[in-house]
């Protein structure tokens, strides 16, 4: 199966490869995990479909790593079940869950070469010498490191170490691949290259993957679906585009992408902000005072709009973000093309493009 | 590796030489004096190797036979102590490190404690214990391994703990478990190989301590190298100095081995890396 796949790649590295098998499905049902009085997972539910790449995104302490670790069996659950392909694995020891995992910190065994590291899982499964070495070499070839079989961890760069760790996690053909912030120790360029590599390999092998990260760019760039966690449960789960364009709350709007927070009022299914009526992501929102989240790209400079003064402007390659203070003191970030170059102190007028906004009710002060 | 920048107030070459020289003298003078003593030939003056050759040609016969037996006892004791301490200490340290990190301070306190207790005090406490032990297990010299296990604990603990602090034991064991290794495999295939340096250093330093111990063995009436040397010294002061010099050389070689272990890096025997991709 994966072995043949790996061999094919070795012999014909440029061939396009179709997914070779559907991965396993994973289901968390009402999982609870407490740490010394702190609830890390609160009635946590999540389903990963076979072959799906799901990113768990959230601020530190939101429980994302705990969710991954209970799936791996590295932490026990206090309640709830975890099923892989319908079988309850909650009480199985880690070594018998048939998972591959890449850790945040470099986890290669320092006393073994890269190849021997990859062989380790096969050795545990009593795979014999020649076959073991061939499979390890094929897995290293998959991550582009077949020439580094004899190198030790301290002779490899951080990115190479994480690639070897990925090969080591994949060589046993696990049912699920778990990635615990595997890129966070790497520098920016290597990070982007490796995350694309991970996605390519995942697509080729069709392995169900749970990817924990606190970096929204990373999550949005590689995942089929992104689950944003807060206080031990999932606040919203959906395709990256859905999460970005239709955030369920201002927490999501703030956490996924940039967002301006404005005070407004919901009336008759529209948010009234700065004298403009904006459509709502969730039209069923009850009337009342709200905090409105507006994306910087949903604002533009236009002749007709609210007048303001430019505070600062920053360059981001193909675009610019300009901070403007409106007449009433509200500060806004406007995203626009890089050709426009407003300077501090310049007078501008800002207009809402009319894209749907997400809102959070503000409780009236007592 | 990045070269370390010189410290601003590092001592000059001359000062370093003086410090090293004076410390060296403190160690060298007694040793040279001992060697000189063993080479003296009678009251008339002059030096020769007659005592050294006599000892080795005599094949440790006659009065020195007891020393040979005692040496065997001491080596056996050293091995027994090392095995006992490692079997108890390594799994306990790993367990505390991985499962009960809060107990670490207590563990450290308990392990370091023996160093602050004088051997004579230890013996006072151990004497009644050994009278019970004697009834249960006999009064074989090997039973001293229990007492020595306590005296070497601080040294073995420090050596292993220092290694443990330098290895990400938690991540390595978790990685091994996700790859299908049970706890025994984790211990034997991942943790012990990576703690090898600390374990070996702890073992060697324990051997050195056991081979140098006198008080406990003497007061508990056991025949070890040290106690037998004292007995022999009463009859023949020259030979006992030769034997002491040999014991000293052995301990020195042992410490040299420990020093080497500290510098050998895993995999340095393999070819070095030549650049690389991310």
What's the order of all strands across the beta sheet hosting A53-57?
Answer: A99-102, A176-180, A208-213, A53-57, A225-230, A233-238
**Residue B270 and residue A148: Cβ atoms within 8 Å?**
no
A189: nearest CA partner in chain B: B278
Q: For residue range B94-115, list pLDDT tens digits in order.
A: 999 998 999 999 999 999 999 9
Kindly list the residues from chain A whose CB atom is less than 8 angstroms away from the CB atom of residue B278: 157, 159-160, 186, 189-190, 193-194
Q: What is the dihedral of CA A44, A49, A55, A61, to 10 degrees?
A: 10
pLDDT band for position B88 (50/70/90)?
very high
pLDDT band for position A355 (50/70/90)?
confident
State how far the alpha carbon of B48 is from the alpha carbons of A97, B35, B59, B178, in Å.
Answer: 74, 11, 19, 67
Kindly list the residues from chain A whose CB atom is less than 8 angstroms away from the CB atom of residue B181: 95, 120, 124
pLDDT band for position A22 (50/70/90)?
low
Determine contact: B175 vs chain A, CB below 8 A.
yes
- The predicted model scores a pTM of 0.78
Q: For residue range B126-177, list pLDDT tens digits in order.
A: 888 888 888 888 878 888 899 999 999 999 999 999 999 999 999 999 999 9
Question: Mean pLDDT across chain A, nearest whole number?
Answer: 88
Q: Which two tokens stand for residue A161?
A: 């170490």
* Count of beta carbons in the 10 Å neighbourhood of residue A216: 20
Query: What pLDDT score was predicted for residue A253?
Result: 86
A152: nearest CA partner in chain B: B267
Q: How far apart are alpha carbons A213 and A229 in whole angstroms?
A: 11
Instruction: Inform me whether the pLDDT recorded for B267 exceeds 70.
Output: no
**Residue B180 and residue A150: Cβ atoms within 8 Å?**
no
| Residue partners of A312: CB distance under 8 A and separation at least 6 | A322, A323, A344
pLDDT band for position A5 (50/70/90)?
low
> Best mutation site among B167, B174, B178, B189 for testing chain A: the one with the most A CBs within 10 Å?
B178
String of DSSP letters for B187-243:
IIIIIHHHTHHHHHHHHHHHHHHHHH--HHHHHTT---HHHHHHHHHHH-HHHHHHH
Would residue A38 be called left, alpha or beta, if left means φ above 0 and alpha means ψ between -120 and 50 degrees?
beta
Looking at chain A, the domain(s) classified CATH 2.40.50.140 span 258-361
Instruction: Inform me whether the pLDDT recorded for A11 exceeds 70.
Output: no
Angstroms from B163 CA to nearest CA on chain A: 13
Mean pLDDT of A220-241: 93
Contact by Cβ (8 Å): A271, A264? yes
Looking at chain A, the domain(s) classified CATH 3.40.50.300 span 20-245
The better pLDDT of the pair B139, A134 is held by A134
* Count of beta carbons in the 10 Å neighbourhood of residue A302: 13
Query: What pLDDT score was predicted for residue B7?
Result: 54
Q: What ipTM was predicted for this assembly?
A: 0.81
Query: What pLDDT score was predicted for residue B263?
Result: 60
Q: For residue range B231-265, list pLDDT tens digits in order.
A: 888 888 888 888 888 888 887 887 788 777 656 54
The better pLDDT of the pair B258, A283 is held by A283
* Count of beta carbons in the 10 Å neighbourhood of residue B112: 15
Least Cα distance to A234 among A217, A255, A218, A215 occurs for A255
Q: Which two tokens stand for residue A145?
A: 């490191």
Domain B59-262 has CATH 3.40.50.10320: no
Q: For residue range B176-232, list pLDDT tens digits in order.
A: 999 999 999 999 999 999 998 899 889 988 988 888 888 888 888 888 888 888 888
Residue percentage of chain B with pLDDT more than 70: 88
B178, B181, B266 member nearest A100 (Cβ): B178
Mean pLDDT of B6-14: 74
pLDDT band for position B268 (50/70/90)?
very low
Write the burial class of residue A61 (CB in 10 Å: 0-12 exposed, 13-18 middle, 19+ buried).
middle
**Residue A109 and residue B172: Cβ atoms within 8 Å?**
yes
Instruction: Inform me whether the pLDDT recorded for B2 exceeds 50.
Output: no
Query: What pLDDT score was predicted for residue B59?
Result: 65
Angle, helices B196-212 vs B144-165, to 10°: value is: 150
pLDDT band for position B64 (50/70/90)?
confident
Query: What pLDDT score was predicted for residue A185?
Result: 85
Query: What pLDDT score was predicted for residue B28?
Result: 93
Q: How far apart are alpha carbons B219 and A314 in whole angstroms?
A: 81
Backbone φ and ψ for B107, nearest 5 degrees, come out as -60, -45
Residue percentage of chain B with pLDDT more than 90: 38
Instruction: Inform me whether the pLDDT recorded for B274 exceeds 50.
Output: no
Q: How far apart are alpha carbons B101 and A26 in whole angstroms?
A: 32
A100, A103, A111 member nearest B193 (Cβ): A111
A74, A109, A156 member nearest B276 (Cβ): A156
B180, B267, B276 member nearest A121 (Cβ): B180
State how far the alpha carbon of B251 is from the alpha carbons of B31, B206, B209, in Å.
Answer: 14, 11, 9
Q: For residue range A286-343, list pLDDT tens digits in order.
A: 888 998 989 999 999 988 888 999 999 999 888 999 999 998 888 999 999 988 889 9
Q: How far apart are alpha carbons A265 and A272 in whole angstroms?
A: 5
Residue percentage of chain A with pLDDT more than 90: 64
Residue percentage of chain A with pLDDT more than 70: 93
> Best mutation site among A65, A66, A106, A152 for testing chain B: the one with the most B CBs within 10 Å?
A152
A73, A74, A120 member nearest B179 (Cβ): A120
What kind of fold does domain A20-245 have according to CATH?
Rossmann fold (3.40.50)
Instruction: Inform me whether the pLDDT recorded for B266 exceeds 60.
Output: no
Mean pLDDT of A65-90: 94
Kindly list the residues from chain B whose CB atom is less than 8 angstroms away from the CB atom of residue A97: 178
Query: What pLDDT score was predicted for residue B48?
Result: 86
Instruction: Inform me whether the pLDDT recorded for B31 exceeds 60.
Output: yes
Secondary structure letter of residue A250 according to DSSP: H
Q: What do you get for the CA distance between the two ends of chain B, in Å?
A: 18
3-state secondary structure of A348: strand
Write the burial class of residue B90 (CB in 10 Å: 0-12 exposed, 13-18 middle, 19+ buried).
buried
Q: Which two tokens stand for residue A2?
A: 């994966």
Mean pLDDT of A226-238: 93
For domain A258-361, give the CATH superfamily: Nucleic acid-binding proteins (2.40.50.140)
Kindly list the residues from chain B whose CB atom is less than 8 angstroms away from the CB atom of residue A73: 177
Determine contact: B176 vs chain A, CB below 8 A.
yes
């Amino acid at each position: 199966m994966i072995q043949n796949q790996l061999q094919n790649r070795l012999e014909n590295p440029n061939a396009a490869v179709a997914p070779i098998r559907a991965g396993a499905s994973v289901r968390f049902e009402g999982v609870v995990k407490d740490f010394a009085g702190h609830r890390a997972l609160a009635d946590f539910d999540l389903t990963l479909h076979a072959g799906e790449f799901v990113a768990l995104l959230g601020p530190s302490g939101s429980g994302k790593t705990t969710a991954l670790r209970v799936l791996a069996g590295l932490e026990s659950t206090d309640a709830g079940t975890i099923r892989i392909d319908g079988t309850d694995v909650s009480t199985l020891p880690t070594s018998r869950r048939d998972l591959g995992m890449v850790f945040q910190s470099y986890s290669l065994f320092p006393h073994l070469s890269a190849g021997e590291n990859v062989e380790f899982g096969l050795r545990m499964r009593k795979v014999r010498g020649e076959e073991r070495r061939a499979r390890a070499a094929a897995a290293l070839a998959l991550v582009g490191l077949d020439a580094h079989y004899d190198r030790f961890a301290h002779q490899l760069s951080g990115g190479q170490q994480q690639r070897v760790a990925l090969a080591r996690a994949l060589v046993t053909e696990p049912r699920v691949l778990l990635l615990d912030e595997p890129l966070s120790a790497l520098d920016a360029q290597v990070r982007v290259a490796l995350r694309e590599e991970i996605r390519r390999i995942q697509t080729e092998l069709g392995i169900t993957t749970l990817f924990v990260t606190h970096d929204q760019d990373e999550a949005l760039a590689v995942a089929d679906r992104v689950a944003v966690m807060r206080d031990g449960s999932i606040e919203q789960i959906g395709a990256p585009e859905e999460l970005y364009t239709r955030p369920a709350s201002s927490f999501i709007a703030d956490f996924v992408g940039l967002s301006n927070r404005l005070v407004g009022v919901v009336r008759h299914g529209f948010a009234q902000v700065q004298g403009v009526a904006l459509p709502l992501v969730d039209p069923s929102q009850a009337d009342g005072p709200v905090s409105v989240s507006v994306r910087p790209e949903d604002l533009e400079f236009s002749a007709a709009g609210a007048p303001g003064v430019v505070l600062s402007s920053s360059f981001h390659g193909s675009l610019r973000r300009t901070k403007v203070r409106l007449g009433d003191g509200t500060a806004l970030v406007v995203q626009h093309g890089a050709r426009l170059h407003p300077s501090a102190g310049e007078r501008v007028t800002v207009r809402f493009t009319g894209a749907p906004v997400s809102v959070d009710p503000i409780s009236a002060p007592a | 590796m990045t070269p370390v920048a010189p410290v601003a107030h590092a001592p000059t070459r001359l000062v370093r030489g003086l410090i090293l020289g004076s410390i060296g003298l403190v160690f060298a003078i007694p040793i040279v004096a001992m060697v000189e003593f063993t080479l003296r030939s009678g009251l008339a003056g002059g030096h020769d190797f007659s005592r050294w050759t006599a000892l080795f040609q005599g094949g440790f016969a006659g009065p020195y036979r007891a020393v040979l037996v005692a040496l065997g006892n001491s080596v056996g004791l050293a091995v027994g102590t090392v095995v006992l301490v490692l079997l108890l200490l390594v799994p306990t340290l790993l367990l505390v490190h991985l499962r009960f990190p809060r107990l670490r301070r207590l563990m450290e306190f308990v392990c370091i404690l023996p160093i602050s207790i004088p051997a004579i005090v230890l013996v006072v406490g151990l004497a009644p214990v050994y009278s019970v032990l004697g009834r249960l297990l006999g009064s074989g010299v090997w039973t001293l391994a229990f007492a020595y296990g306590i005296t070497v604990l601080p040294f073995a603990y420090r050596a292993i703990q220092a290694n443990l602090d330098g290895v990400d034991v938690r991540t390595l064991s978790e990685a091994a478990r996700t790859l299908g290794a049970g706890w025994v495999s984790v211990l034997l295939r991942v943790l012990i190989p990576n703690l090898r340096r600390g374990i070996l250093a702890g073992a060697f330093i324990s051997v050195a301590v056991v081979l140098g111990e006198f008080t406990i063995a003497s007061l508990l009436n056991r025949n070890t190298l040290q106690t037998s040397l004292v007995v022999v010294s009463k009859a023949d002061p020259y030979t006992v100095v030769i034997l002491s010099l040999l014991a000293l050389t052995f301990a020195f070689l042992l410490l040299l081995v420990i020093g080497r272990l500290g510098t050998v890096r895993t995999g340095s025997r393999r070819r070095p890396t030549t650049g690389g991709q991310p």
